[in-house]
Amino acid sequence: MATVNELADLRAGIDECDAQLVALLAKRNSITEKIGAIKQQIGAPLHAPDREADLLAARRQEAVNQGVNPELVEDILRRMMREAYQNQQGNLACSAPQLSPIVIVGGKGAMGQLFAQQFIRSGYEVRILDKEQQAESEAILAGAKLVLVSVPINALEQVVAALPKLDDDCLLVDITSVKQKPLKALMAAHNGPVVGLHPMFGPDISHWVKQTVVVCEGRNHEVAQGLLAQLQVWGCQVVEMEVKKHDEAMQIIQVMRHLTTFVYGQFLAKQSHTLAELRSCSSPIYQLELMMVGRLFAQSPELYSDIMLAQFDDVEDLLANYQATFADTLEKLKTGNKAALIEGFADAKEYFSDATAHFLTQSRSLLNKANDAKVLD
């Protein structure tokens, strides 16, 4: 029969293993910092997808060979990789020195600061042009090779139109979530190269690795290649997309998603149950849903209002279709039409068919983490 002393001895063994793990993590961090320094010197991208895939596959097989859950090993490795990417952010390679100096218009804003910091880490000269510097705009923009406009959607046309004349070889860039109207405004205000970027992330990211940036061609796209190369050095996934197609995709990905979340958050606020009561009896998947709803309301109301308003006129047909789908589903529920509900489920399932297995695996990992967080609360 096991004794209290035996339990204490086993726990001491666990403590020893944990101490060894911490020491190994410290050693690994030291190595990854050195790797980051070498990547900076040779101009290599922070993210090496093939190397990452090979590493994960090899460690998973080793885990199987030693009777350890490979999912556990992959979770640990991915967390360590994320830490490594954060540790490698101090000094980054400069892949397009011809784009310096860079001016960030709206550089005091959250996204402006994020881009400014990253360019500075890569060794570019960065100047800030915000409201306080308007009187000095000509001096600040003099000789600029890249001007990145980081202002709210509803202010972009006015801000760009008010810019002093830029040099013909200056690359003018915007980072709004809508592209057709902003690119027209940029090309109307500047005769030189123009490109539209849409960073699919907010200012609270810990690093740029694996972050998606959508690129929409404006004018003289070859000039933008240095900027795109720099994004890839930072580890970004660069996705080039035709302007109209981008805006149509954003109507679904952003406007409809934000609208649904916005309405659901308001609905919850009107219910008799407190958030704490809902969280106390929610499943991990509902915990995740609450997190995503709460995330929206933790951010700028002006930003999300602007995103929804910017394309509202273009999404009326989508909204009508969405309302019709909701009403149709509601009618099926009212009439108890189970067969029709199953048919609707099957139609949607067919749309997701190629990705269902992948989504199931990914969501299982997220749900486990959400459940862990709930236990820690």
Q: What is the pLDDT of residue 2?
A: 67
Number of neighbours of residue 99 by Cβ within 10 angstroms: 23
Q: What is the pLDDT of residue 213?
A: 97
Distance, in Å, from the CA atom of 250 to the CA atom of 309, rounded to the nearest integer, reads: 13
Residues 156-190: pLDDT tens digits? 999 999 999 999 999 999 999 999 999 999 999 99
Phi then psi dihedrals of residue 365, to 5 deg? -65, -45
- Chain-wide mean pLDDT for the chain? 90
Number of residues in the chain: 377
Q: What is the DSSP letter of 177?
A: S
User: In Å, how far are 294, 312, 340, 349 from 336, measured between CA atoms?
Assistant: 33, 34, 9, 21
User: In Å, how far are 104, 162, 182, 231 from 175, measured between CA atoms?
Assistant: 11, 18, 9, 13
Report residue 162 as tokens.
């008010």
Distance, in Å, from the CA atom of 129 to the CA atom of 184, rounded to the nearest integer, reads: 22
Q: What is the 3-state secondary structure (H, E, C) of 186-220?
A: HHHHCCCCEEEEEECCCCCCCCCCCCEEEEEEEEC
Q: What is the pLDDT of residue 233?
A: 94
Phi then psi dihedrals of residue 212, to 5 deg? -90, 135
Distance, in Å, from the CA atom of 227 to the CA atom of 95, rounded to the nearest integer, reads: 8
Q: What is the pLDDT of residue 244?
A: 94
Q: What is the pLDDT of residue 45?
A: 87
User: In Å, how far are 6, 103, 151 from 108, measured between CA atoms?
Assistant: 60, 12, 10
Q: Which of 3, 88, 108 is nearest to 46 (CA)?
A: 88
Q: Which of 173, 176, 213 is nearest to 192 (CA)?
A: 173
Give the three-state DSSP class for 164: coil
Q: Which residues of the chain have pLDDT under 70?
A: 1-2, 370, 373-377
Peptide bond into 203 cis (omega under 30): no
User: In Å, how far are 120, 204, 238 from 97, measured between CA atoms?
Assistant: 12, 27, 20
User: In Å, how far are 96, 122, 269, 326, 330 from 333, measured between CA atoms?
Assistant: 58, 57, 25, 11, 5
